[in-house]
Amino acid sequence: MSNDASVMVYIQQDSGKLAEVSLELVSKARELADKLGVGVSAALFGEKVAQEVARLASLGADTVYLYEQPQLKHYTPIPYTKLMIQVIADYKPQIVLYGATTTGRDLAPRVASYLKVGLTADCTDLQIGDHKQGEKEYKNILYQIRPAFGGNIIATIVCPEKKPQMSTVREGVMRMNIPDTSRKATIVKVPASLGSADFPSEIIDRVLEEKTVNLKGANIIVSGGFGVGSREKFQLIRDLAETIGAEVGASRAAVDAGFIGKDHQVGQTGTTVRPKLYIACGISGAIQHRAGMDGSARIIAINTDPEAPILSIAQYGIVGDLFDVIPRMIKAYKARV
């Protein structure tokens, strides 16, 4: 497979640990590259990160542009931006994808502004297609798809003139491929040299806060919405979750109202989840909420309003008061086990 005009992924790492979103993006890049008939490349910078090349290859990378230096153990903007610009200038990918993480949101706009190319943030889908603009027809360009205008429309954004086309994508939106350990990638050492002038800032101390909520890894999620009514009443959602061994999720309206912390928010500006079972309680099902949970294998929705949009995507819709339905669910479950 050719290295030219590849679909490139910026591989985010910290202390040698790769960000999950980067692995998801390598998988998506494979799909896009297969449609374009080009290779997948990965830009991997850090300290002692070469051992991760096999993992990137197993998910679909053909070429890994590698640069290792001890000061790159943690992300800092200036050296990483310099390396990324150099890799893009030297190897000319047609598409570059970044995770919509704090790091990706810092790095991608710096690169875009330097290269004077477009950048679409927080894409929820990426496709390849043609685009007509007046008399001009562009073949095989990147459709960068994301909710716009407060989620009232799903916009398809194109940047047909300038290359590379660049997007950020949130964690959990793209599916990770099943690793194929027989795949191999070519390592290309980036011919750069970073000197002390490239490291004007120094990390003196880092305080890491452990996440207590693991929505992404949960098989079952019980989520409460604004319909739950208060922080105190939210205990019923926690009770159901605890009974059935689920993680607790929430809509943004519930988070904004102070019923529960932001870490629990599911949706476009929260976490994207794909559990085996998602139980939505007192959630209307606004598009921004559905964007984060409509990939769930099974959805149960409890809502007093038979017209609530969430009921149209639920396999099991219960029209009723959650304060009546949930205690009965808990009782029925406990009676069976």
Q: Are 322 and 282 in contact (CB under 8 A)?
A: yes
List phi, psi (to 5°) of 263: -60, -20
In whole angstroms, the minimum distance from the beta carbon of 260 to ligand FAD comes to 11
**Residue choice 90, 180, 242, 305 for contact with ligand FAD (CB under 6 A):** 305
In whole angstroms, the minimum distance from the beta carbon of 25 to ligand FAD comes to 20
Torsional sign, CA 94, 100, 102, 105: positive
Q: Is 268 in the site for ligand FAD (CB under 6 A)?
A: yes
List phi, psi (to 5°) of 98: -130, 150
- Return d(Cα 336, Cα 150) in angstroms, integer: 44
Q: Is 313 in the site for ligand FAD (CB under 6 A)?
A: no
Q: Are 283 and 312 in contact (CB under 8 A)?
A: no
Q: Is 140 in the site for ligand FAD (CB under 6 A)?
A: no
- Return d(Cα 5, Cα 29) in angstroms, integer: 12
> Residue 4 or residue 305: which is nearer to ligand FAD going by CB?
305
Cis peptide upstream of residue 164 (ω within 30 degrees of 0): yes
**Residue choice 30, 163, 170, 252 for contact with ligand FAD (CB under 6 A):** 252
**Residue choice 114, 138, 199, 226 for contact with ligand FAD (CB under 6 A):** 226
- Return d(Cα 83, Cα 173) in angstroms, integer: 27
Binding mask 44-83 for ligand FAD (x = CB under 6 A): ----------------------------------------
Binding piece for ligand FAD, criterion CB under 6 A, among 19-27, 99-107, 124-132, 304-312: 304-312
Q: Cα 39 from chain centroid? A: 22
Look up tokens 């219960």; give the residue.
Answer: 318
Total binding residues toward ligand FAD, as defined by CB under 6 A? 30
Q: Are 91 and 198 in contact (CB under 8 A)?
A: no
Q: Is 303 in the site for ligand FAD (CB under 6 A)?
A: yes
In whole angstroms, the minimum distance from the beta carbon of 329 to ligand FAD comes to 13
- List residues near ligand FAD by CB under 6 A: 150-151, 225-227, 251-254, 265-270, 282-284, 286, 288-289, 292, 302-305, 308, 321-323
